[in-house]
Structure 1
Amino acid sequence: MKPIRGVLLDLSGVLYVGDAPLAGALEALTRLQASGLPVRYITNTTRSPRREIHRMLSTMGFRIPEQEIFTAPGAVRAALERDGLKPLLLIHPGLAPEFQDLVTDTPDAVVLGDAGEAFSYDNLNRAFRLLMDGAPLLAMGSNRYFREQDGLSLDIGPFLRALEYAAGVQGTVLGKPSAEFFHAAVADMGLEPDEVLMVGDDAEADVQGALDADIQACLVRTGKYRPGDEDHIDTHRARIADDLAALVADLLA
């Protein structure tokens, strides 16, 4: 493997859970940033726009430039603008202002995010009918679940699979594990994929997704990690670390 010249970090489950930093994460990130290795932050979080994610991170004590945060909603908006599509939004209410200027009474695409309580039968059925009329399905990720402070919660993936199954379509995932999403953050550092390490708590979307995109990867045993997640990745190529602090100590040793 090539020497690591840059790092991609997942946010939730690697730096924090809920609204609290993980133990040692603040110090580990400060040390990583001071090392001179460029870092980009790549997240499928779809309940808040990038500026709100940045504000939340700052409140927790993380010092991260907003422009270094790559979000799945940002990738989806770029795709809508590029293709001139008008979305039917199945997303969290907190994210709606990010897309409001693209919404019309005659949508021709379905956009799927972590809609939370908005995953009602009526909303899902409206999306289903639009897909049956030929609209494309754009998803901000395919994660099965994520960890909140009170436990695991359903993420986008189960609802994406339901709509794909019902309408007989294949959705386009524009967040992780999309190689295009990973590569956009890598290109922002001016590096090649195999020179970069992706660090995440999701074995499939973060780690195996990065490996499939020719990026080095590390699974951390924090956040949504559960014993046995190693079975879902290529352990011959992936690193495994107890947490971000342990990984940074190893990288900078």
Structure 2
Amino acid sequence: MDSPSRSRSGGHTMAPHKTPDEEKNRLLVGPVLRRKPETQPEGSTFDQRLLEMRADHDWKHADPWRVLRIQGEFVAGFDALDEMPKAVTVFGSARIREEHPYYKTGVELGEKLVAAEYAVVTGGGPGLMEAPNKGACEAGGLSVGLGIELPHEQRLNPYVDLGLNFRYFFARKTMFLKYSQAFVCLPGGYGTLDELFEVLCMVQTGKVTNFPIVLIGTDFWAGLLDWIRGRLVADGMISARDIDRVLVTDDVDEAVRFIVDAHAGLDVARRHN
């Protein structure tokens, strides 16, 4: 049964959430929600068709028009997120089920970020994207999902209050970077690693302000961090501070406190400049 609508951060009244079962026959294609879509080749996405060079050279005629669609994604994202309160983006695996301890950690993280007066942003999907959205939603905060078109069935999870669905990864990544003031990575696969290293690169090169970055799950991340320090730092490919600035913890309270303290320090530094 749907839960009753209730007021969220910013005074918005949200419609009752749908359950996943109610959504199972519906598919997001870019920003459009369709039931049993038949408008694109099976297993093909807009990103894939953009990046492939076809033998018949149709791309010479199609690519200039794609620019308008890409522009539209940026306009829609900027418009929808323009009045976002301060926010933390949480990355994590889509494959983790609700009974897993990681999922429970994600829910707790969402709740405690809201208690610290942050909106919670995720990739909008299931698993460890759904968990922080659920925690934020049930705590009465703003729960945001930025989805992506995938070859297999994909939908925004039912705990998203404000959701957008993107055709292109690079447009979606821009929204994560532009509208977040901190980043937390729960355990995850290639997508989570991609987002983590993108954020690390942007901070290292000064493309974004030195926002706090947190990895939750010391056992999960230990091997990767050992390799980074043993190879990249040891061989001089990055400096020690490029990885030492990242907090690794199993404690959700410590993670949230690290973010709050970092922002308090940034605010003090700005007032003195």
TM-score (norm 2): 0.28
> Which protein has the bigger strand share?
1
TM-score (norm 1): 0.29
> Which protein has the bigger helix share?
2
The answer to which structure, 1 or 2, has the higher relative contact order (CA under 8 A, 6+ apart) is 1
* Structure label with greater radius of gyration: 2
